[in-house]
Amino acid sequence: MVEKLIKTFYETFGDGGDIRTYFAPGRVNLIGEHTDYNGGHVFPCALTLGTYGIVRDREDRTLRFYSVNIDSVGVVETSLDDIVPTKEAAWTNYPKGVVWAFKKRGFKLTHGLDILIYGDIPNGSGLSSSASLEVLTGVILKDTFGFDVSMVDIALIGQDAENNFNGCNCGIMDQFASAMGKKDNAIFLDTNTLQFTYAPVKLPDAKIVITNSKVKHSLVNSAYNDRRNECETALKELQTAVDIQTLGDLTEEQFEEHKSVIEDEIRRKRAKHAVYENQRAIHAVEALKANDIALFGKLMNASHESLRYDYEVSCEEIDVLVDLAQAMPGVIGSRITGGGFGGCTVSIVENETVDTFVKEIGKAYLEKVGHEAEFYVVDIGDGAGKLD
């Protein structure tokens, strides 16, 4: 793979120079959905799918980008002295945003770069291709210019770039998982404090299978903002009755005791999800540590139920996939993953069931919704870095 990309680099940008290679993974969140902006816990892991970067220094102040995935766009050029988001910049606004965020913090980029990008994260799958590209860019800049930043800093810089350069109000989870991933471990992250621990994901008899519904509904951005606003209002109502800073501060019992102060039934459902999902994430990590994979699967199933009915961020196609998966013997747990309204499900499937899972669910899904799903049997990989 890397040798082929280097060959393409030379064909695109010309021969010579010191070539460096980097990789940043995508991520899947095993449990803890829509908790990151409610002061709760998330439990993502880095994947072995991700974004590759082939890089060479330039002697001027020009940045030249080329994506193997979008080769029809060709080489996109910009100056280090003119880093602003533009429609014409297309996908390069993501790496440009990271350059912008470094410069905003006082870091000086002394010369330009030629950068070739290739990603094997399926487009629009909800596995964080944009965060992967941002973290990749951060690692490239840290290594090239010797910037004194940690991998947590790189995650925060990537989030800043996405929020304030590209205008997407995402939480920290995606960039954090890409930057801080660890092979065969998921990251138990408190999004309120950024305190985290690694939890080994030992599945000797099962695999993680991601199923891409191949749909993404257009209401995702407005609905996402609606959910955030509903939770913020519910929090203010709860704060009149109990001393909390976030919904993640509440146990299930405390929520049930005080939920009547939330005047609107919709807001009550949204807050219930945030509280219960945070507790599910905590219990899921405990289950993994106890090697109770069956309980972990039950918590995944309960997570989907809550996202479907209380938070209402699922959709017909995703529910079809989850219902089919949960009904199949050998499937330990299955749920929607990511922001919702399309995208992917994540399932834990016993080894001997994986082939049947792909074949039977693929067939039934095509019959029910009229188009094919895609399946990825994934491994948990390390976080971003330079490749030898």
Q: What local confidence, expressed as pLDDT, does residue 220 receive? A: 58
Average pLDDT of the chain?
Answer: 95
Active-site residue (options: 174, 190, 249, 310): 174
pLDDT of 388 reads 83
Q: Give the count of beta carbons closer than 10 Å to the beta carbon of residue 177.
A: 29
pLDDT at 324 over 70: yes
How much is the average pLDDT of 321-341?
95
Residue 196 host element (H or E): strand 196-200
Any domain includes 386: no
C-alpha distances (whole Å) from 275 to each of 269, 291, 326, 356 are 10, 25, 24, 36
180 and 266 share a domain?
no
- Give residue 117's domain range: 2-200
Q: What is the pLDDT of residues 38-62, one digit of tens each?
A: 999 999 999 999 999 999 999 999 9
User: What does the alpha-carbon distance between residue 174 and residue 307 come to, in Å, rounded to a whole number?
Assistant: 19
Q: Please check whether residues 111 and 245 belong to one and the same domain.
A: no
CA-CA distance, 271 to 259, in Å (whole number)? Answer: 9
Q: Report residue 219's pLDDT band, with 50, 70 and 90 as the boundaries.
A: low
User: pTM for this one?
Assistant: 0.92
Q: What is the predicted pLDDT for the residue at 169?
A: 75
| Residue range 307-320: mean pLDDT, rounded | 97
267 with 146, same domain: the answer is no
User: Is 147 among the domain residues?
Assistant: yes
Our count of domains for the chain comes to: 2
Q: In this predicted structure, what is the pLDDT of residue 127?
A: 78
- Provide the pLDDT for residue 126: 73
Annotated active-site residue 153? The verdict is no
Residues 13 and 137 in one domain: yes
CB neighbour list of residue 4: distance below 8 Å, 6 or more residues apart? none
The per-residue pLDDT for range 110-122, each reduced to its tens digit, is: 999 999 999 998 7
Q: pLDDT tens, 67-95?
A: 999 999 999 999 999 999 998 899 999 99
Average pLDDT value for residue range 357-371: 98
Which domain CATH number covers 331?
Answer: 3.30.70.890
Tell me: do 84 and 55 sit in the same domain.
yes
